[in-house]
Amino acid sequence: MNAIEIEQENYFKVILQLRNEIKKCKGPDSQIIKSNNSSLSLYNIKNQQLQEDQQISDIQREGQIDSNITNLQRMPYIEMLEQAEKYLKLVYETAYNISHDDLEKKFQAKETIPYKLIKQISYPQICQSLSFNFDNTLLATTQGSNIKIFNFNYNKGNIEQIANFEAHESNINSLVFSKKSNYLFSGGDDFFIHIWEELKSKNQWKNKISINTKWPISCMILNSKENLIIVGNKYGFIQTWNLNVEQETITIILEIRKVHQQNIFGISLNLFEDRLITCSQDKKIILWSIDQRGLMQKITEQERINFVSSIIFLYDNTILLTQNKKGLIELKLDDDTFKQDEKIILEDPSEDCPNFPIQFNKTKNIIIIKHNQFVYMYRELNKGSYDLQNKIVFDSIKVYGAFSSKGKYLVTLNEQLLRLYELVE
C-alpha cells in the first residue's frame, strides 16, 4: 500500500467505527451517555478531518456542511454521531472520487463477517468434540476412542496431523485444552477423565493423571484457575473434582445425582464463576450457585418445551441457548430468577442436535452458534442487540466445531469432512 491508500483505509476505518457506534446506541435497552470513555473519540475524528482540510475547502465554501466539529458536540449524542458520519462520508466520496452507492457497498461488505474455506480433510468415524490449545497452535479432535492432534499454523492457515493415539476404551465425548499450558483433558463413555501431557520430544502425549468417575461423561469444563473440573454425565449427574496437576491428583468434591433426568448437554460458568447453568435432554435448564471449593447448590430451574442443545453465560445476567425446534434465544436473570420476557434472536422450528457449544470471542465480539444445519456468526452490539453477520450451510444437523481464541479460524466436522475456515475481517 502506498501513502494515499493507507490514508484512505484509515479514513474508511474511522467511518466504519462511527457506524458501529451508532448501531450500538440504537440497540434495545441502550443508555446513551456522552463520555470521554466512549469506544470512539470525536477528537480522533477531528484529527482525521484536519488532514483533509485542503481537500474539502470547496465543499465548505458551498455551505453543504459545517466543518466545526464542536457544533456536533452541542447535539444529542446519537445525532452527533450521525452528523459526523454524514460529514465524513461526504469528505471521503469527494476526496477519493467514489460514488455514494459504491461506498455503501464497501461498508456492507465490511459489516458482515466474510469467511473462506481454506482446508478440507476426509475424517471417517465419529467425532464428538474439538478443542484448540491455549495459543491456537494445536487442535485436538476425537475419533471414536482415539485422540488426534493437529499442528495448526495460523499464519499460513493450515492444519497437519502430528499425533493419533488410543486414549479411552470407548467413545470420547469431551475434550478440553488447558488455557495455560498444553495439558489436554478428555472424558468418555468408559467413565474416565484422562489428563494428557505433551512430551518435550513433541508429537507424543503421556497420560499424566486418570480418574474413574463411575459414570459415562458427556461434557466437562474447567474454571479459570484450573483447579476445578465440573463434569456432566449421561445419567444427569453433576460432579465437581479438585485438580492439582503438580501433585498429579484429582479428588471428588461433590456428586449430585439425578439433577437432570437425562443426558447433560452443556455446562457454563458466569464471569465471576459463582453461578453455573446446565442444560439437558430432559428439557430443563438449571441455575446453580458454586463456590471456590466446588460446592454447588441448586437455585432455580426452568422447563422448556423442547430440549436445549447448547447454553452459555454471555454476561452474568444474560444467557444464550439453542433450543430444539425453536431456535436461538436470549434469557435474562434478575436476582437469580429467569425473567419471563425472553427474546427469540433466531426462530427456527427445525430439529437440532448437541455437541456444538456456543462460542463467544469477546475481543472481536463474535458469537459462533449452531442450530439445525447452519453455523451462524453474530455480533453482540449492545448487551441485547444481535446482528447476524453470516452463516455457513452444512449437509446435516450433526455439525461439531471449535473457534480459535484469536477469533480468526473456525474448524467444523460434518459428514466425515473436517473443514478449516478463515474469518476475513
Grid cell at residue 408: 480468526
pLDDT of residue 154: 75
CB 323 within 8 A of CB 280: no
Q: How far apart are CA 25 and CA 16, in angstroms?
A: 14
pLDDT of residue 32: 42
Residues 6+ apart with CB under 8 A from 329: 320, 321, 322, 323, 342, 343, 344, 345
pLDDT of residue 2: 81
pLDDT of residue 145: 95
| Residue 402 backbone phi and psi in degrees, to 5 | -145, 145
Residues 6+ apart with CB under 8 A from 327: 344, 345, 346, 347, 348, 349, 371
Q: How far apart are CA 10 and CA 52, in angstroms?
A: 12
pLDDT of residue 71: 55
In this prediction the pTM is: 0.77
**DSSP secondary-structure letter at 40?**
S
What parts of the chain have a pLDDT lower than 50? 28-39, 41-43, 45-46, 48-49, 52-53, 55-56, 59-65, 67, 72
CB 332 within 8 A of CB 28: no
CB 70 within 8 A of CB 28: no
Please name which of 363, 354, 370 lies closest in space to residue 410, comparing C-alpha atoms: 370
- Identify residue 241 by its one-letter amino acid code: W
pLDDT of residue 87: 87
Q: Helix count (H) and strand count (E) of the chain?
A: 6, 29
pLDDT of residue 77: 80
Which secondary-structure segment (H or E) carries 310? strand 308-315
pLDDT of residue 59: 45
Cα 376 from chain centroid (whole Å):
11
Cα 66 from chain centroid (whole Å):
42
Grid cell at residue 213: 468417575
- For 187, the 3-state DSSP assignment is strand
For residue 399, list its beta bridge partners.
Answer: 414
Please name which of 207, 216, 209 lies closest in space to residue 188, comparing C-alpha atoms: 216
